[in-house]
């Protein structure tokens, strides 16, 4: 029963909701998509050769198009992973836009969505200087954004239990490669024994893995794909900075 509930509220269902029109529910679904995927998609557009401001306009227009396209309500989630669907949809959108003059001012006449929460870095800086392909850059930014979402959600969970300070002290131990001396130093700083810090760190890492699996589970069409997608996620980090690996 728990798995059915988890997979009933996926990013896929958000896409289907967004495809039903410009209702409040559809707008909320689109906003949820933007929070994680705006920066990776904008990075892809930027790497296609567009100026930073034009890339932002195109990304904004793409998400607005997701609301406008009623055929999204008939998309079959079994056709692939959510990130693959989004990237293919963006490529199709850019192809359609290539021969059109985007003469409107930024945001003019477009359906507005909450992109600020999704831009985890300044929009003009979403692409690194190394010459990776647009697809590789998208995958790297997707991995970073997804992990950032997991970590922010985990911190909010700890904060709700009045344990934000504990989370902040332990978050660097999520990599699992800190020496024992670090635990002792953390304990002195927050008033816990070294043993208590180790236990708290173990619990944090376990909860992190749970939240990571749940978040990844929202982007695939079946629970059987979660482990493979997590492996893919960390493979993307081998092309860039690796943080918070469980």
**Sign of the Cα pseudo-torsion (193, 210, 232, 137, in order):** negative
Domain boundary among 106, 127, 148: 127
Residues 210 and 197 in one domain: yes
Residues 39 and 92 in one domain: yes
Residues 115 and 163 in one domain: no
* Arithmetic mean of pLDDT, 145-169: 92
The pLDDT tens digits of the residues spanning 56-94 come to 999 988 888 876 776 566 666 666 677 888 888 899 899
* Percent of the residues in the chain that have a pLDDT greater than 70, as a whole number: 63
Residues 108 and 210 in one domain: no
Residues 100 and 82 in one domain: yes
Residues 165 and 106 in one domain: no
Residues 154 and 228 in one domain: yes
Residues 9 and 31 in one domain: yes
For residue 177, what pLDDT band results from cuts at 50, 70 and 90? low
104: containing domain:
1-127
For residues 106, 107, 108, 111, the Cα torsion angle rounded to the nearest 10 degrees is 160
Domain boundary among 67, 94, 127: 127
Answer whether residue 239 shows pLDDT above 60: no
Domain boundary among 110, 127, 144: 127
Residues 178 and 91 in one domain: no
The tally of domains found in the chain comes to 2
The pLDDT tens digits of the residues spanning 128-151 come to 445 678 888 888 888 888 888 899
More confident residue, 96 or 20: 96
Residues 156 and 205 in one domain: yes
The pLDDT tens digits of the residues spanning 13-40 come to 667 776 666 667 767 766 777 778 888 9
Residues 235 and 137 in one domain: yes
Answer whether residue 180 shows pLDDT above 70: no
Residues 86 and 208 in one domain: no
Q: What is the mean pLDDT of the chain?
A: 75
* Range with top average pLDDT, 5-9, 24-28, 161-165, 236-240: 161-165
């Amino acid at each position: 029963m728990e798995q059915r509930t988890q997979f009933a509220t996926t990013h896929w269902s958000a896409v289907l909701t967004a495809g039903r029109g410009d209702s409040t529910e559809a707008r909320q679904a689109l906003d949820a998509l933007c929070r994680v995927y705006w920066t990776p998609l904008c990075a892809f557009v930027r790497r296609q050769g567009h100026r930073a401001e034009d890339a932002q306009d195109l990304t904004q227009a793409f998400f607005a198009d997701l609301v406008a396209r009623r055929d999204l309500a008939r998309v079959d989630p079994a056709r692939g992973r959510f990130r693959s669907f989004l990237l293919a949809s963006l490529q199709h959108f850019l192809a359609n836009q290539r021969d059109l003059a985007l003469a409107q001012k930024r945001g003019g006449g477009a359906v507005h969505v909450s992109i600020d929460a999704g831009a985890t870095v300044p929009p003009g800086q979403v692409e690194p200087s190394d010459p990776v392909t647009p697809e590789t850059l998208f995958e790297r930014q997707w991995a970073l954004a997804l992990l950032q979402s997991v970590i922010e959600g985990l911190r909010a969970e700890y904060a709700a239990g009045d344990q934000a300070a504990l989370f902040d002290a332990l978050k660097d131990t999520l990599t699992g490669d800190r020496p024992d001396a670090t635990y002792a130093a953390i304990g002195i700083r927050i008033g816990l024994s070294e043993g208590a810090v180790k236990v708290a760190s173990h619990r944090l890492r376990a909860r992190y893995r749970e939240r990571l699996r749940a978040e990844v589970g929202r982007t695939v069409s079946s629970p059987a794909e979660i482990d493979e997608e997590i492996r893919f996620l960390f493979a993307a980090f081998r092309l860039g900075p690796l943080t918070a690996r469980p």
